[in-house]
Amino acid sequence: MKRALISLALAWAVAFIVNAQILGDLDGDGKVTVADITDLISTYLEQQEAALHPQRQPRAVLLDVTFGARENELSTRNVYSADYMLELAGVPFVTTASLTDAIETGGVIVLSSEVGNSTFSEAQYDSLRRWVEAGGVLVSQAPLAVSGSSAVHTACRQLYGIEKAASGKNRYQLVWAPSHWADKELEYIDTDEERVTSLGRGKRLSGESIKTYAYTLTEDSATQVLAHYETGENAVVRRSLGRGAVYTFGFRWRDIIQRSQLNKDFEAQRSTSNAYEPSADVVPLFIRSVCAKHRKVSVWKFTIPDGYESLIIPTHDCDSRTAYDSMFYMSEYERALKLKAHYFLTVHYFRDAGYLSAFYDDVTMPKARLLLADGHTVGSHSVCHFPDFSQTDRFPMTVTTREAYAAVAHHEKDSTATGTTTGGSTWVEVVMSKQIIENDLQNQVRSFRTGHLCMNKNIPEAEQMGGYSFASCYSAGDVLSEFPFRERLGNDWSGDFNGVLQMPLHISDVISSSPINAENWMEKPAMWHAVQSKLQGNYAPAILLIHPNRSWKMEAEKMLVEMTDRNRVGLYNFEDFGDFWNFRRTVDFDFGYSAEQSLLEIRLTEPVDAVRLQHLCFAVDVESGTEPFTEIRLLDADGRVLADGTAKPLTETRWLIQF
Ligand SMILES: [Zn+2]
């Protein structure tokens, strides 16, 4: 409103001066009339209006090439995975099953699924090719309609520059070509772990890996190979056509995204803990870079809140009496830092003769209450922490009572590494553990972490019954991803979402290669810091697990904190990050800019929670040499200015915008 009034006043002044001194009267009657001035004002205001609304930039498009045929479950997995990738990339996008709409909307089109013989007609290939030549960008997987003699096959070959796609399940790595490391599309692919991306290790299912395609290129120079398989075959190719480009990957989205999230990958992780394993994130980050490369200005939802570039998110599993006895060292240190940390409690309230003592009792419970008094959040780490909890059939959804469970649930150590539990219940471990904590601590339990990071098929259903919001049951290495994702019932490809955000942990005091102890703990923070620094390169958080069972574990956390540049890396609460991540997904926006006015506008298309919005930042990628915008505005759907933004540089061509 204030801005409008100033504009109006300015318009009057300008109109008056211009009218009186230069143009004189407009209607030629020798007088400067009110009508003349009014005309000038309205012209001026129209110009102002146009200037206030810089041209909207096109959204990316997820083109559902199953054309809405969602009954095909295999395709749905690819559509979900493509959606996840674009959402992680953070660029504004729409989903459509109409090629015409996609071409009219988009600067970048991501195809959801494989391109089969009947996906596009010859005419559709032609319009796609003309669209690319005019500057469009296509990101695709597995164009299978390249081998054949019909007009459709010819058109497919012309678009992709691919003559043959040879499928196989024996390719284990993606090796990004050093000659392209400096290309914009590969800007996030800048560590050893990214430059060689893992697809599978062949240690499971008779040496199988995911299904891959190796491409034979047509004989023209427009197509370049950005990545090979370790076999030397072509895996990721870029075809330049006119002003646009076609990127083709040799595998299906579902095999790198959803497969990893379900932990059904072919043991592709190179390490499960305390290592940087970004193999599932490389393609979404590549897509973000593709959007940046082919636009003068590209805005995306940042993946870290509050103006930081990464986070350290401490979580502490209290799963022994010594942990309950010693956790105050950690808790009080964190309180002094004003850090709201997160504690997962194992409420083992009865003695299991073969396994654990009854360490959750009238002595330890008050110590747990102190965590809340220190400002921390508290979740559940199960009742019994059974090491064979991943065995679904040993842990049905039996609903029982505290007393009855204590009478039947027992764990025997036997010749297997994890022993055998009888009388176990997933319902008790997940739902009743939450009830026990909420009853005793009078808090709201929103988070679950399973013991030994065991996952079984009943856990997602139990989490849903318990009303959990967050879980942290995987190491990020194991699921090949640094970022959270939504869990599914049955941990199954076609399971519905259970409302729980799975937030894998990145670094921990469980170090199998060299267990942490009283003598060597001071060597570990540098290792955690090294992993966190790599995560920061992808603007990912570092969720830290430290069992708070020794006073020197607090010293180790302190050493890590003191290594950290806290202007760039925030100390953050686990559940706050989960809330941020869920909120980020709900925010839809578009943007426009005016280089002349050095003005960038980000427009939210739906009303959002104003409190949560304060934590969300945007990043803007620009062409090299572009001056920073002097004015950045956040608008609501009606074009009202909600806030003015500030920008700080992240790289030479990227700024972080905070409102
Ligand atoms: Zn534990």
Task: Say if residues 379 and 469 touch (Cβ distance below 8 Å).
Answer: no
Helix 2-17 with 34-52: angle, nearest 10 deg = 130
532 and 597 part of one domain: no
Q: Look at residue 50 in the predicted model and tell me its pLDDT.
A: 55
| Ranges 104-108, 182-186, 302-306: which has the least confidence | 104-108
- Among 14, 32, 52, the domain-final residue is 52
122 and 198 part of one domain: yes
Question: For residue 336, how far is its CA from the centre of ligand 1 (angstroms)?
Answer: 26
Question: For residue 658, how far is its CA from the centre of ligand 1 (angstroms)?
Answer: 38
pLDDT digits (tens, 9 = 90+) for 116-148: 888 999 999 999 999 999 999 999 998 888 888
CA of 642: how far to CAs of 233, 608, 633, in Å? 51, 11, 7
**For residue 388, is it within any domain?**
yes
Burial of 400 (0-12, 13-18, 19+ CB in 10 A): middle
pLDDT greater than 70 at residue 55: yes
Question: For residue 138, how far is its CA from the centre of ligand 1 (angstroms)?
Answer: 46
Question: For residue 504, how far is its CA from the centre of ligand 1 (angstroms)?
Answer: 14
Query: Which of 160, 80, 93, 84 lies closest to 120 in space, CA to CA?
Result: 160
Distance from C-alpha of 160 to C-alpha of 470, rounded to nearest angstrom: 42
Question: For residue 546, how far is its CA from the centre of ligand 1 (angstroms)?
Answer: 10
DSSP-assigned letter for residue 496: P
Question: For residue 278, how far is its CA from the centre of ligand 1 (angstroms)?
Answer: 25
| Residue 562, SS3 per DSSP | helix
pLDDT greater than 80 at residue 35: no
47 and 168 part of one domain: no
263 and 135 part of one domain: yes
338 and 360 part of one domain: yes
- Helix or strand (DSSP H, E) at 50: helix 34-52
Q: Look at residue 309 in the predicted model and tell me its pLDDT.
A: 98
- Other beta carbons within 10 angstroms of residue 102's beta carbon come to 25
Question: For residue 311, how far is its CA from the centre of ligand 1 (angstroms)?
Answer: 23
80 and 39 part of one domain: no
- Other beta carbons within 10 angstroms of residue 636's beta carbon come to 14
**For residue 301, is it within any domain?**
no
pLDDT greater than 50 at residue 24: no
570 and 593 part of one domain: no
pLDDT greater than 90 at residue 414: no
Question: For residue 313, how far is its CA from the centre of ligand 1 (angstroms)?
Answer: 17
Question: For residue 304, how far is its CA from the centre of ligand 1 (angstroms)?
Answer: 27
459 and 322 part of one domain: yes
Question: For residue 581, how far is its CA from the centre of ligand 1 (angstroms)?
Answer: 25
Question: For residue 157, how far is its CA from the centre of ligand 1 (angstroms)?
Answer: 54
First to last CA, the chain: 19
Interval 600-604 mean pLDDT: 96
pLDDT digits (tens, 9 = 90+) for 442-451: 999 999 999 9
CA of 390: how far to CAs of 269, 344, 387, in Å? 19, 19, 8
Task: Say if residues 95 and 64 touch (Cβ distance below 8 Å).
Answer: yes
Question: For residue 540, how far is its CA from the centre of ligand 1 (angstroms)?
Answer: 24
| 594: containing domain | 587-658
| Residue 408, SS3 per DSSP | helix
Question: For residue 52, how far is its CA from the centre of ligand 1 (angstroms)?
Answer: 55
**For residue 303, is it within any domain?**
no
Query: Which of 458, 441, 477 lies closest to 272 in space, CA to CA?
Result: 477
- Among 296, 331, 348, the domain-final residue is 296
Question: For residue 387, how far is its CA from the centre of ligand 1 (angstroms)?
Answer: 9
Question: For residue 50, how far is its CA from the centre of ligand 1 (angstroms)?
Answer: 59
Question: For residue 473, how far is its CA from the centre of ligand 1 (angstroms)?
Answer: 10
Question: For residue 408, how far is its CA from the centre of ligand 1 (angstroms)?
Answer: 22
pLDDT greater than 50 at residue 18: no
Q: Which residue has the higher pLDDT, 55 or 374?
A: 374
Distance from C-alpha of 615 to C-alpha of 635, rounded to nearest angstrom: 16
Q: Look at residue 483 in the predicted model and tell me its pLDDT.
A: 98
92 and 111 part of one domain: yes
Question: For residue 623, how far is its CA from the centre of ligand 1 (angstroms)?
Answer: 48
Question: For residue 359, how far is its CA from the centre of ligand 1 (angstroms)?
Answer: 14
Question: For residue 370, how far is its CA from the centre of ligand 1 (angstroms)?
Answer: 20
Task: Say if residues 426 and 377 touch (Cβ distance below 8 Å).
Answer: no
The structure tokens listed for 447 are: 């988070």
Question: For residue 322, how far is its CA from the centre of ligand 1 (angstroms)?
Answer: 13
Question: For residue 454, how far is its CA from the centre of ligand 1 (angstroms)?
Answer: 10
Q: Write down the mean pLDDT value for the chain.
A: 91
Band (pLDDT 50/70/90 cuts) for residue 547 is very high
Question: For residue 382, how far is its CA from the centre of ligand 1 (angstroms)?
Answer: 9
Question: For residue 348, how far is its CA from the centre of ligand 1 (angstroms)?
Answer: 12
Bridge partners of residue 657, in order along the sequence: 618, 647
Q: Look at residue 615 in the predicted model and tell me its pLDDT.
A: 97
Q: Look at residue 22 in the predicted model and tell me its pLDDT.
A: 42
- Among 522, 548, 581, the domain-final residue is 581
Question: For residue 381, how far is its CA from the centre of ligand 1 (angstroms)?
Answer: 7
66 and 103 part of one domain: yes
Question: For residue 435, how far is its CA from the centre of ligand 1 (angstroms)?
Answer: 19
pLDDT greater than 90 at residue 21: no
**For residue 231, is it within any domain?**
yes
**For residue 468, is it within any domain?**
yes
Percent of the chain scoring above 90 in pLDDT = 81
pLDDT digits (tens, 9 = 90+) for 519-538: 999 999 999 999 999 999 99
Question: For residue 242, how far is its CA from the centre of ligand 1 (angstroms)?
Answer: 57
Question: For residue 452, how far is its CA from the centre of ligand 1 (angstroms)?
Answer: 5
Interval 558-580 mean pLDDT: 98
**For residue 480, is it within any domain?**
yes
431 and 551 part of one domain: yes
**For residue 304, is it within any domain?**
no
Q: Look at residue 330 in the predicted model and tell me its pLDDT.
A: 98
- Please count the structural domains in the chain: 4
Band (pLDDT 50/70/90 cuts) for residue 15 is very low
Question: For residue 406, how far is its CA from the centre of ligand 1 (angstroms)?
Answer: 19
569 and 544 part of one domain: yes
